[in-house]
Structure 1
Amino acid sequence: MPGENEKKLGLPALIGMVVGSMIGAGIFSLPRTFGSATGVVGALIAWAIAGVGMYTLARIFQILAERKPDLDAGVFAYAKAGFGNYAGFLAAFGYWIGSCIGNVSYWILIKSTLGAYFPFFGDGNTISAIAVASIGIWAFHFLILRGVQQAAVINAVVTVAKIIPILVFIVILLVAFNADLFRANLWGTYSNAGLLEQVRLTMLVTVFVFLGIEGASVYSRYAKKRSHVGAATLIGFAMVLSLMVLVSLLPYGVMEQGEIAALRQPSLAGVLEHVVGRWGAVLVSLGLLVSVLGAYLAWSLICAEVLYAAARNDDMPKIFARKNANDVPASALWLSNAVVQLFVISTYWSSDAFALMLNLTSVMSLIPYLLVAGFGLSVARRGGIQSPEGTRRRDLTLAGVAVVYTAFMVLAGGMKYMLLSALLYAPGTALYFWARLEKKRRVFQGYEMILFAVACAGSLAAAIALGTGWIAL
């Protein structure tokens, strides 16, 4: 079809989607997040666990992209193929609502950054901050309505621009690095927690900073070549992991752990200001604004795409499968940004809005990741003509590690966030009821009713916990 290939994304653009999705708010918050929880040894252990776990997950996305080329939109499609319609819906809904919450954290960090220069923005959840964020939400909304491919090109340009301040940060800290100070920070003396607890306290943020690893998979239907999906995932993962480890470890060589823990977010700016003065904080702040806005653009695209793909496959109401003249899933985009708007308003009542949104985003995204890893394990066990014996053993190992890692991370998140996630999953199932009734299909089959009952029980427990003050926002 003439002009069809012009609408497709090549390998550089797909890598840009992966890197652009992962490098956003999280990397700029790493110094304080790690400094308040652990020392160098704990940080190394946390990154080793996250690196191995996320590497195996990245490989599962690569393997599934090659073995199951008929499954578009990655996360949701794999969960449905492996575990049925309701599990597929839960993956789609969890990934979608988690992405929306992640977008809220971006606006909080933007306003917190500006709060260092304009006090009326506070920590990103004042009335002024919420008002300005609301303007930004809808400005991006109308930009994306003009075309997905156009927005993807903008994201690729922004991805390059936002990496520069991070690289400057790394180079300056390498020059200023003090080995004696680094050794003094080895064991995390700032906290009274044991080493394992120190590691646990950092695990959710390692999930948050890697969200987006499946960015190329989500956009597989736009790829010029199917092989580019897996390649973009692994290349993007390697690039981002290197940056994350350096950004979290190098501050221990220029500041004491207690000083790092006391920094305001974005703590990357505070570290650089400590080393080179005020201009360092300004540089990082500018880089953060570019980075977070770029990541917000990428995740807005992903939010709409996941909701659209689920509707196209009859697991969300068909209204969200509608596209406008620019090939944008407009109805899905409207609902996504309406949800982001509501969560932005809700931050006014939160004592630590950024941490709440970061952790909740991570937990909501882990359930879909667990389902994908489980499907990968199932595909590896079945093998088949595309899976010779040598690669079958490799794939089984990778999928097994990915399942163990994601299950461990769900538990490591703690009961608070598991209950809060249930508080979203249970009422969200109304969309599934709507979709099934539209098609005149039975709502639940077999064990699906048990899954729904568990979600309802968790939702009720979360409501009681919030009401009694056991869970505080």
Structure 2
Amino acid sequence: MSSKSQIGLAALTALVISSMIGSGIFSLPQNMAAVAGSQALLIGWLITGIGIIFLGISFAMLAKLRPELDGGIYTYARAGFGDLMGFFSAWGYWLCTTVGIVGYLVVAFEAVGTFTDTPDFVLFGKGNTFAAFLGESAVAWLVYWLVARGIKEAAGVNLAATFVKVFPLIVFIGLAAYFFKADVFMGDWTGASLATPENPDAGIMTQVKNTMLITLWVFTGIEGAAVLSKHAKSRADVGRATIIGVSVTLAMYVAITLLAQGVLPRAEIAEMSNPSMAGVLAHMVGGWGKVLISFCLIVSVLSSYLSWTLYATEIPHLGAKNGAFPASFIKLNANEVPHGSLLFTTLTVQLCLFLVWQTGNSYEALLLISTSMILIPYFLIGAYLLKLSFERQLPLKYKLVGLIATVYALWIVYAAGTEYLLFSVLLYLPGVLLFLYSQRKHHGAWRFNGWEKAVLLVLAVLAVPAVYQFLNS
């Protein structure tokens, strides 16, 4: 790998932070206040924090144990559980990232609409108007051009953008700490006011579960440094970037949600429109706070779009080398960027943008379904570390980290619920056809062992209730 595509520790860390801090952080105060009091909020963040830190450590340990494996999400799953599971991990991850980044563009132009739209004139609306479609498409192809110029250059732009979007978040945290009042924070400590005649079950454990369901998605992107590991100047930087990125992001998430409930009563935050961080900041400093957060939101989601495009480009390229994706994704351009994979990703984004414009709100369901596909890849990371620690008879710390990461991933798979997991089965099915085509082209035949045949059979069986659910939804 030449120096033109190598990324240093700072840029790798920025990619991890940027991909995890998208649009969700700006709505966290309201999202959390709507489901939990201060006590449940603390417990929920404690459990989620432990789980996500151990998942981050798993990536760091695997980067140290298997430095020859590029790509993280795909190659670890393939090394641990075979070609088919590796492909499922890559396909689920690619689909999640590609459909997910469409959401970043939609949210960005919805935020722009707050400056341009009036009750009598709607230009961008909810990010699904024709004007928004044109603007979003222009950004998508601008990012395509930027990434095609080189991974290193794109990562450099993302590094600068990450500083721009993190600075206002730090300002918010500092101001919230200054305006924080302990009596406001303790005012609804148990969240008793959440109980209603329609929803009488508002106990602490119910609140904790609801907070953790919200935090399921906000840490997606933890794998960023591992996905781009082959571009790292030093393999050791992959683990360092992951741990630093996760720690910084977790600290900001916790501080923003906890401090907000000490600035305004929980019930008042719960009634705010999103991005609720703007409302809390406006309460502290006046109207310019809303403008600052709106600007920060636009920069945030656009830089996240850039970092996620890098991931979505890398995974099919690595899979193509092993026959999991079409061979056209292998070739690099003069800037050492897998152009076929980048073009495929950008065209898919363009198609999704067209569908958002034509169908409107139906995009939200697709986003939730696709995001549920990241859960299996995360489970396979912890499971592979656990498997490797026993195979190599590694010290207890490796087994412990792998076990905790695996249990946490299993829990979030359970917490996601059967509805969206069944829908995700429908999205895996076209992937199977792509895998069969690629295998035939690459190897001249399909190659499945008994375990992989069993997995395909289970998927086929689950397709029946999945199709039934889809038709009756």
User: TM over 0.5, yes or no?
Assistant: yes
1:130 aligned onto 2:133: yes
Alignment partners' CA distance in 2, 1:50 and 1:357: 25
- Residue of structure 2 in register with 1:253 after alignment: 262
Q: Which residue of 1 aligns with 2:233?
A: 224
- Which consecutive residues of structure 1, in runs of 5 or more, have no partner in the other structure? none
Counterpart of 2:450 in structure 1 is 446
State which of 395, 418, 432 in structure 1 corresponds to 2:435.
432
- Relative distance call for 1:263 and 1:157 in structure 2 (3 A) is same
- Equivalent positions of 1:97-108 (< 5 A) are 97-108=95-106
Q: Secondary structure at the match of 2:388?
A: helix
- Amino-acid identity (%): 38
Per the alignment, residue 190 of structure 1 pairs with 194
Shift of 1:204: 3.8
Change in CA separation of 1:143 and 1:409 when aligned onto 2, cut-off 3 Å: same
Question: In structure 1, what is the equivalent of residue 422 of structure 2?
Answer: 419
Q: Does the Cα contact within 8 Å between 2:71 and 2:227 map onto a contact in 1?
A: yes
Give deviations 1:116-167, integer Å, cap 9, x for gaps. 3333233333444333222222221122111111101111111111111101
Distance 1:81 1:176, change over 3 A: same
| Shift of residue 97, structure 1, vs aligned partner | 0.7
Partner of 2:472: 468
When residues 6 and 308 of structure 1 are mapped into structure 2, their CA distance, relative to the original with a 3 A threshold, is closer
How far off is 1:357 after superposition?
A: 5.7
Give the count of matched residue pairs: 460
SS at match of 2:59: helix
- The match for 2:311 is 302
Quote the offset at 1:464 in angstroms. Answer: 2.4
Out of 320, 324, 342, the position equivalent to 1:333 is 342
* Residues 1:343 and 2:389 aligned together: no
CA contact (8 A) 1:134 1:341 kept: yes
Letter paired with 1:230: G
Show the counterpart of 2:409: 406
Instruction: Return the match for 1:24 from 22, 25, 34.
Output: 22
What displacement does 1:243 show? Answer: 0.4
The corresponding residue for 1:154 is 157
**Counterpart in the other structure of 1:139:** 142
Give the TM-score normalised by the residue count of structure 2.
Answer: 0.92
| Pair 1:36–1:360, CA change in 2 (3 A) | farther
User: Which amino acid in 1 is paired with 2:177?
Assistant: L
Give the whole-Å Cα distance in 2 for the aligned partners of 1:127 and 1:465: 32
Q: CA deviation at 1:200?
A: 2.5
**One-letter identity of the residue aligned with 1:456:** A
Q: CA, structure 1 residues 266+414, in 2 after alignment: closer, same or farther (shift >3 Å)?
A: same
Q: Measure the CA separation in 1 of the matches of 2:188 and 2:138.
A: 43
Give the AA of the match of 1:416.
E
The alpha-carbon deviation at position 16 of structure 1 amounts to 1.5
Contact 1:208 1:358 (C-alpha < 8 Å) held by counterparts = no
Q: Distance in 2 between matches of 1:343 and 1:217?
A: 27
2:242 is equivalent to residue 233 of structure 1: yes
Structure 1 residue 353: Cα displacement: 4.7
1:110 to 105, 108, 112: 108
Q: What amino acid is the match of 2:32?
A: F
Q: Aligned residue for 2:54? A: 56
CA contact (8 A) 1:18 1:212 kept: yes
Q: Distance in 2 between matches of 1:362 and 1:395?
A: 28
Q: CA deviation at 1:52?
A: 0.8
1:60-111 Cα shifts (integer Å, max 9, x gaps): 1111111111111011001011111100000001111111122122123213
**Offset of residue 30 of structure 1:** 1.1
The worse-fitting range, judged by mean Cα deviation, of 301-310 and 434-443 is 434-443
Q: Which amino acid aligns with 1:25?
A: S
Whether the 8 Å CA contact 1:433–1:443 is kept in 2: the answer is: no
Q: Distance in 1 between matches of 2:4 and 2:400?
A: 39
The reply on whether 1:264 has 2:273 as its aligned counterpart is: yes
Quote the offset at 1:457 in angstroms: 3.6
Distance change (3 Å), C-alpha of 1:38 and 1:350: farther
1:77 equivalent in structure 2: 75
C-alpha spacing 1:200/1:399, structure 2 compared with 1 (3 Å): same
- Describe the shift of the 1:114–1:459 C-alpha distance in structure 2 as closer, same or farther (beyond 3 A): farther
Select the residue among 168, 173, 180 that pairs with 1:170: 173
Paired residues of 1:76 and 1:92 also in contact (CA < 8 A): yes
Q: In structure 2, do the counterparts of structure 1 residues 468 and 109 end up closer, same or farther at CA, with 3 Å as the change threshold?
A: same
**Residue of structure 2 in register with 1:277 after alignment:** 286
1:352-397 residue CA offsets vs partner (Å, 9 max, x unmatched):
855x46643542111001011111001111225xx4xxxx111111
- Greater Cα shift, 227-236 or 296-305: 227-236
Q: 1:233-266: CA deviations, max 9, x gaps? A: 1111111110010111121112232332222222
CA contact (8 A) 1:31 1:267 kept: yes
Return the offset for 1:315. Answer: 1.4
1:41 aligns with 2:45: no
CA distance in 1: counterparts of 2:146 and 2:463, whole angstroms = 36
Counting only pairs closer than 5 Å after superposition, residues 204-219 of structure 1 correspond to structure 2 as 204-219=213-228
Cα–Cα, structure 1 residues 347 and 197, in superposed 2: closer, same or farther, change >3 Å?
A: farther
Cα pair 1:102 1:357 within 8 Å, conserved: no
Letter in 2 for 1:265: N
